[in-house]
Structure 1
Amino acid sequence: MATSADWLAGARPRTLPAAVAPVLAGTGVAAYAGAWDEWQGVWWKALLALVVSLALQVAVNYANDYSDGIRGTDDDRVGPMRLVGSGAATPAAVKRAAFLAFGVAGVAGLVLAASTAWWLVAVGAVSVVAAWYYTGGSTPYGYLGLGEVMVFVFFGLVAVIGTTYVQTETWVWPALYAGIGVGALACAILVVNNLRDIPTDTAAGKRTLAVRLGDGRTRALYLLLVLAAAVAVVAVAGATTWWALVALAFLAVALPAVRTVTDGATGPDLIPVLQQTGLAELVWAALVAAALVLRS
């Protein structure tokens, strides 16, 4: 019987930063664009966007736990505990948890679509399908080296731009730049996760991007993504206010993780990098949002 602690383990330590960061960044851009001049009309949209983001993150984690578990990919796992792979919960129970989280995201998304634009339903549906088939289905694209693309697009670009759009109901370029920054760091989390798992993923036939690139180039990719997030801060500042450059302070959190990766750490020694990168993503978004809100 799985305990409550076991079920919480299924959500992963990076879930909260990865869910909150795009909503913070997108809301900051919306505030700078004037959406919060009458805050009573949009605060609940920001809250619902957070519910969607968090529910999708949890759903993806449980869906991955289920799909990897039934395939046996997690039988020899180095990272945090998986519910199915460890036997702490049955595959059916984890699958139900995933679909429950998808349902919560869907309900919140429908409310946002009804109050903003119905075409957002299509965006939400694509997001759910992409989340499930990352490791689910007969040919999961996460096993083909495309997981980083999914994370960058849906937990970076779509999440940030979508959060801004439901509050402003218009396109604003800074949302794209913020989406790139958040997406780069969200992608970096997955990159280091897959870097840690290269030996076991190779043995299990899971051809992640890290497996395809190899150890050295995967470490270089991680560094490139952190640098891309720094460039995105400059882009946001150039399109809004130079006060946003304060967000470059995220590098103080990211640099220890970068050193660990570039120094050649392997296996369990890479686990702290997941938390450090997640915190860097949250700091990036929080500082960008604070600067934009204060200068709005």
Structure 2
Amino acid sequence: MNVKVWLQAFRLRTLPLALSCIAMGGFLAASANAFRWDIFLLCISTTILLQILSNLANDYGDSVHGADSHDRKGPKRAVQSGAISAQQMKAAVIVFVLLCLASGVTLLIVSFGLDWKAILFFLGLGLLSIIAAIAYTVGKKPYGYAGLGDFSVLIFFGLVGVMGSYYLFTKEISGYQLLPALSCGFFSIGVLNVNNIRDIESDRNAGKFSIPVRIGRTNAIRYHWFLICAGILSAIVFTFLTSQAIWQWLFLLSTPLFIINGVAVSTKPSAQLDPYLKQMALATLIFVLLFGAGLILSEKL
């Protein structure tokens, strides 16, 4: 087994984005004096496994459906290049499904004990997350090819990721958490949108009707700016409603990073956009860290 090839297939550069929603949930829980390291680490484990599962399934599905062709602007995928066979990738997907279930069930038992109603509800959410990770590009009618990937990202990287993890700590939820959850969701869609703008031609040729394919590059750029502005505005509204100290506005220091990304998406050709997927993901993580630091400092000082 070529470890380097598998690590490339895992697409580790996508992990900061997956961790952002869990970090946001953890910071919100800490501000409510409900943070626990055991729950946090299990949340991270489950999320990383889900993200890798999604990446492997995406590699397999796009190769089968033809989106990963020689026209694709991004890095070559493992199945497309022949570095990993389709059968090996299918086996890896099954392994990671089992790992996700094991980590997720452990998380629920640690968080809820023997509260079976809560366990079954969150287990259902976990199973939906696994199905969403696979069905994005795999199957006869993958929803990513119908342009529904953005909605799925908003749900799982935003609402479920942030509000779900917050509930695992606190066993309660309020409407205020919806706003930072939307911030994470909008920024996560932004990462997907950069990817889809980069691949607009190869996706169109493969019959993958992503949002940029449907609305065209010019409107996809406008859509990208909307996502950036909506993510920042959601955080501003939350802070305005809950602010206890000036520290809670620290997240605004991340704004230039998003502006840099928006300008690059607006001006650079598709072939040069790949580095800005990672930059948008890191900008999101930095935003979350600053947002969380502001919450903690406002409580301590």
| TM-score of the superposed pair, with normalisation by structure 1 | 0.93
Residue in structure 2 matched with residue 39 of structure 1 by the alignment:
none
Q: How does 1:1-296 map to 2 (within 5 A)?
A: 3-36=2-35, 42-76=36-70, 77-114=72-109, 115-116=111-112, 117-118=118-119, 119-241=121-243, 242-263=246-267, 265-296=268-299
Task: Give distance in 1, aligned partners of 2:241 and 2:38.
Answer: 26
RMSD: 1.5
Deviations 1:89-133 (A, max 9, x none): 011111222232222221121122233221111111111111111
Relative distance call for 1:21 and 1:245 in structure 2 (3 A) is same
Task: Give distance in 2, aligned partners of 1:13 and 1:121.
Answer: 26
| Counterpart secondary structure, 1:170 | coil
The farther-off stretch of 118-127 and 172-181 is: 172-181
| TM-score of the superposed pair, with normalisation by structure 2 | 0.92
Per the TM alignment, residue 46 of structure 1 is displaced from its structure 2 partner at its CA by 0.8
Task: Give distance in 1, aligned partners of 2:147 and 2:31.
Answer: 37
Per the TM alignment, residue 172 of structure 1 is displaced from its structure 2 partner at its CA by 2.8
Relative distance call for 1:167 and 1:239 in structure 2 (3 A) is farther
Sequence identity (%): 34
Runs of 4 or more, structure 1, over 6 Å off, are: none
Task: Give distance in 1, aligned partners of 2:11 and 2:193.
Answer: 15
Task: Give distance in 2, aligned partners of 1:83 and 1:150.
Answer: 24
Partner amino acid for 1:30? Answer: A
Deviations 1:38-84 (A, max 9, x none): xxxx2100111111111111110000001111222212221022110
The farther-off stretch of 199-208 and 104-113 is: 104-113
| Counterpart secondary structure, 1:142 | helix
Task: Give distance in 1, aligned partners of 2:107 and 2:238.
Answer: 26
Segments of structure 1 that go 5 or more residues without pairing to the other structure are 37-41
8 Å contact from structure 2 (residues 14, 278) kept in 1? no
8 Å contact from structure 1 (residues 110, 121) kept in 2? yes
Per the TM alignment, residue 25 of structure 1 is displaced from its structure 2 partner at its CA by 0.6
8 Å contact from structure 1 (residues 184, 226) kept in 2? yes
Partner amino acid for 1:85? Answer: Q
8 Å contact from structure 2 (residues 61, 137) kept in 1? yes
Task: Give distance in 1, aligned partners of 2:12 and 2:223.
Answer: 22
Segments of structure 2 that go 5 or more residues without pairing to the other structure are 113-117
Per the TM alignment, residue 13 of structure 1 is displaced from its structure 2 partner at its CA by 4.9
Task: Give distance in 2, aligned partners of 1:244 and 1:150.
Answer: 29
8 Å contact from structure 1 (residues 247, 288) kept in 2? yes
Partner amino acid for 1:154? Answer: F
